[in-house]
Amino acid sequence: MADVLPLVEARLRSALGEPDARAAVTFLGTDRIEVLRFQEGDIVRYATLGMSAQPMTDPTAVLADPVKGPRTELVLSVRAGLADTDKVLRPLAILAASPQVEGVVVAPGASLDVGEPLWPGAPFTSVLVAEPGGLVEDLELDEPLDPVRFLPLLPMTPNEAAWKRVHGAQALQERWLERGTDLRDPRRSTVALD
């Protein structure tokens, strides 16, 4: 079985260009997770590399299938120069390791919380996992492997995360859209939720 990570990195490079920085984090009992940084104009994107090395497994499954199962990487886009967003590398690696550590399957509509600001002074401690396919196309792998999906992350304030738990991901995304919320602004405030 071919290693999928070189293919994943090639897909990221073809979609986002050459990374201008990369960092690696390894947590006890997990595979290494890298975070690549891509700069495009005033937007900086952080993409995980390593999460898709193994398929995610349903936590209720008796045995983990080493081949079948969803594979994902995470992509966060923010405006450059407004905050020290490079400190998001460790929180992103924590989120990318969560399927291995906690046995969760990360999918669109999910909330992921790191329990601390995503970067120094950030009003966000969690993210909403958005639908894939816009920025980086899915990477098809040889059968029987599932494709690698590149899931955008949308930072949420604690109030937005609480509102999302009650009303759902779709309702929160509609609220952001109605209010013209700049989801790439690393300093934005909570959207009006009344």
pTM (2 d.p.):
0.92
Instruction: Name the region of 35 (left: φ>0; alpha: ψ -120 to 50; beta: rest).
Output: beta
pLDDT of residue 29: 73
**Measured distance CA(36)–CA(13) in Å, rounded:** 10
152 vs 98, which has greater pLDDT?
152
**Measured distance CA(187)–CA(180) in Å, rounded:** 15
Lowest mean pLDDT among 22-31, 61-70, 181-190: 61-70
Mean pLDDT to the nearest integer, 144-170: 95
> Is 150 a residue whose pLDDT tops 80?
yes
17 vs 101, which has greater pLDDT?
17
**Measured distance CA(98)–CA(30) in Å, rounded:** 9
pLDDT of residue 64: 65
> Is 183 a residue whose pLDDT tops 60?
yes
pLDDT of residue 143: 86
Quickly state the pLDDT bin for 1 (edges 50, 70, 90): very low
Chain segment 65-81, per-residue pLDDT in tens: 667 889 999 999 999 98
Lowest mean pLDDT among 29-38, 51-60, 82-91, 156-165: 51-60
**Measured distance CA(150)–CA(11) in Å, rounded:** 10
